[in-house]
Structure 1
Amino acid sequence: MAEINFKLDNRRRGAFYVVEDGKQVGEMVVGLSETTLTVYHTEVDPEMEGRGLARKMLDAMVAYAREHKLQVMPLCEYVHGQFRRHPDDFADVWAK
């Protein structure tokens, strides 16, 4: 079963990672400021695509943003697409 981990460095840059069977199979690269979580890129290993792993990272990232009262700047094509397709689901965190 896939698990989502989140790591930040001392410059407040990092990623949400998908780990399955001890192997990292996806990541969502982010950066934090005082009020904004910027998502730069989302990627899942090609052999793991179609299993909803990007969505699991998206859900974890949005939950983190809500918990920490952050706005999300979706520079990532995947995240921006999800925000556009489901605006009501993300209206509270989407920094338009």
Structure 2
Amino acid sequence: MDFHHEEGPTKGRYWTDTGAELSYSVAGTSMIIIDHTEVPRALAGQGVGLALVTRAVEDARAAGRSIVPLCPYALSQFKRHPDWHDVWNGGPKS
């Protein structure tokens, strides 16, 4: 599955050709706010949503950014992955 990314001055998104998408708001140069994750029903349970959030975490870490996981799905994944706490703005620190 191919993942794509685009970012403008205030919004960004990761998406797949199969219709899965993670959207976020840009909050300055050092933070993004994940506000929505959506995966088509046909792909549910296949790890596509997790892959989108993982990609956002990896890119944020590489860019020195933090993430506010406002989206309930993204927040649940942050709670399950202590290794992401270094980029979790407002979350527990490992």
Q: TM-score, normalised by structure 1?
A: 0.85
Residue 13 of structure 1 is matched in structure 2 by 11
Give the percent of matched residue pairs that are identical in Structure 1 and Structure 2.
Answer: 26
The 5 A counterparts of 1:1-96 are: 2-9=1-8, 11-19=9-17, 24-32=18-26, 33-86=28-81, 88-96=82-90
Uncovered stretches (5+) of structure 2, i.e. residues with no partner: none
Q: TM-score, normalised by structure 2?
A: 0.87
How far is the alpha carbon of 1:12 from its aligned partner?
Answer: 2.9
How far is the alpha carbon of 1:83 from its aligned partner?
Answer: 1.0
Q: Contact conserved, 1:25 with 1:48, CA < 8 A, in 2?
A: no
Q: Which secondary structure does the structure 2 equivalent of 1:73 belong to? A: strand
Q: Contact conserved, 2:32 with 2:68, CA < 8 A, in 1?
A: yes
Residues 62-81 of structure 1: CA distance to partner in whole angstroms, max 9, x if unpaired? 11101100010000101101
How far is the alpha carbon of 1:48 from its aligned partner?
Answer: 1.2
Deviant stretches of 4+, over 6 Å = none
Q: Aligned pairs, how many?
A: 89
Q: Equivalents in 2 of 1:17, 1:74: separation in Å? A: 17
Aligned residues: CA RMSD: 1.1
